[in-house]
Structure 1
Amino acid sequence: MYTIVLATQKGGSGKSTLAIGLALAARDARHNVRLIETDKQGTLSNWQARRGLAEPIVEAVYDARDIEQRLQALERGGVTLTVIDTASGTNAATTAAIRYSDLCIIPARPSVADIEAMVPTLAVARAWRTPFAFVLNQTPIRGGHRVNDATSVLDERAPRDLAEVLAQPFIVMRNDHQDALAAGLAVSEYAPSGKSAAEIRELWRWIDNRLHGSMVAGEEAAGEFREEPFRFVFGETPVRPTAPVVPPLPAWRDIDPSWDACL
């Protein structure tokens, strides 16, 4: 089973909408998918209440100590992909989700403030040597300078060649995403032939390639940069963990993205 987590410090980055879209794209690609929600705001739970009994099932797991055990149970039950949606900020549940995931997706809108706010999440991923990728989300249909500014800031903070950690394509801001969420659907169900659905499917293919033997960002970056300590809390006692020793993953596939892919 593979596990991906969507996490970032700043609210409003579209984590929940992306989690839903990717989960349904993976289901369409014949994965047995489960969604886990660690955010008490309950966006995914509310979405499923509107959706009814249709899969994928959403599970709420708020206690960081339960995440590893639940992932193990899902794998034993035949789930092949788990998508974890987290609350904004860096807390114990988010830290645990990043620790036990195969890929940490860090979404951000194309603004300098949003990019700069990703640093705490990136520090956690590096500390646990979790492979990671950035997703530029809610990009304007026409706004090349904003995307260029955002990618320039990302380039300053990326652990290696930006092309290897910046997911493709960028996800353009369109009403289909919010309309689908309100209807209890994914965008690929709401408007299956639309541009938004096509972008989400392509983003899933990019992520799927990374999950199948192409991830090194977290592993090699951890070796290139000093590991940054961080704190998270179980109960009342602060804990400063040390990064676990994990075997190296295979090399990334070279890619040559175009910054204007979605403009």
Structure 2
Amino acid sequence: MHTIVLATQKGGSGKSTLAIGLALAAQQAGHNVRLIETDKQGTLSKWQCRRGLAEPLVEPIYNPADIENRLPALERGGVTLTIIDTASGITAATTAAIRHADMTLIPARPSIADIEATAATLGVIKAWKKPFAYILNQTPLRGQRIDAAASTLSDDAGYDLFDVVAQPFVVMRNDHQDALTAGLAVSEFAPSGKSADEMRDLWRWVETRLNCAVPAEEEIVAVPEFPILLRERLQSIQPPSSLPTWADTNPSWDACL
């Protein structure tokens, strides 16, 4: 069984929506998937209530020790992929989940605030010497800001862009929020849409990396100072005046879940 954790310091990065999208993409690819929710906000549990008893099921687990005990039981029960959605910040449950992960995915929107906020999460991942990758999420359709953010993430992590920044980038579209409201994943809500294609492609990228994951640095390191090599790179990120703001895209009320 493989275990994936979605974690980042900053709220509103889209961890829960990505967890759902990846879970359904993996399930449609033949995996027996279980979702674990460690965030007491309960986004996944509420989604499960709207969805009913359709797979994949969501298990709320808030005690860090229970995560370690539950994962072997899921594997014995035939689960082939567990995806753990965590709360914002670095909590005991998030640290425990990262410790037992085969890969940690760090969602980040293409903004300097999101990029800076990945530092604490990256420090925990490297301390446990775990494979990881960034997911550039809720991006505009195109623009220099996306490429600048991707390059900054890979440079500051100390790895090649194509090793640690997942492909494709996930564009901000209403299908994600509409699917969440309906108790569906985007690949169920609009299976022929561009968002569904992106999520299936993203799962294929993640699955490939699970089988040949990029490890973190071998030595245990302290949580790095803010920001990780970002001050010199701020000038390379163009001001957002040339691109639409989030408000211009008219996101729905739950666009940042």
TM-score of the pair, normalised by structure 2:
0.85
Tell me which stretches of 4 or more aligned residues in structure 1 moved more than 6 Å. Answer: none
1:132 maps to: 132
Q: Distance in 1 between matches of 2:80 and 2:63?
A: 23
- Report the RMSD for the aligned CA atoms in angstroms: 1.2
1:222 aligns with 2:218: yes
1:183-207 CA-to-partner distances (Å, cap 9, x unmatched) read 0000000000000000000000000
SS of 1:59's partner is strand
Q: Which amino acid aligns with 1:217?
A: P
How many angstroms does 1:150 deviate by? Answer: 1.0
3-state DSSP of counterpart to 1:47:
helix
**In structure 1, C-alpha distance between the alignment counterparts of 2:52 and 2:162, rounded to whole Å:** 39
Q: Which moved more, 1:154-163 or 1:50-59?
A: 154-163
Superposed displacement of residue 148, structure 1: 2.4
Measure the CA separation in 1 of the matches of 2:214 and 2:21: 24
Whichever residue aligns with residue 221 of structure 2, its letter is E
- Return 5+ residue gaps in structure 2 as ranges: 225-257
Q: Number of aligned pairs?
A: 224
SS at match of 1:217: coil
Quickly say closer, same or farther: Cα 1:127–1:16, change in 2 above 3 A. Answer: same
Cα deviation, residue 211, structure 1: 1.2
SS at 2:221's partner residue? coil
- The structure richer in helix per residue is 2
- Residue 174 of structure 1 aligns with an amino acid whose one-letter code is R
Distance (whole Å) between structure 2 residues aligned to residue 217 and residue 128 of structure 1: 10
Q: Percent identity?
A: 69
Q: Structure 1 counterpart of 2:140, which letter? A: P
The residue aligned with 1:21 is: 21
SS of alignment partner, residue 3 of structure 1: strand
Query: Which residue of 1 is the match for residue 155 of structure 2?
Result: 156
TM-fit CA distance, 1:160? 1.7
> What is the Cα deviation at residue 229 of structure 1?
5.6
Residue of structure 2 in register with 1:167 after alignment: 166
**What pairs with 1:1-263 in structure 2 (closer than 5 Å)?**
1-142=1-142, 144-212=143-211, 214-218=212-216, 221-223=217-219, 227-228=221-222
1:156 deviation in Å? Answer: 3.2
Partner SS for 2:84: strand
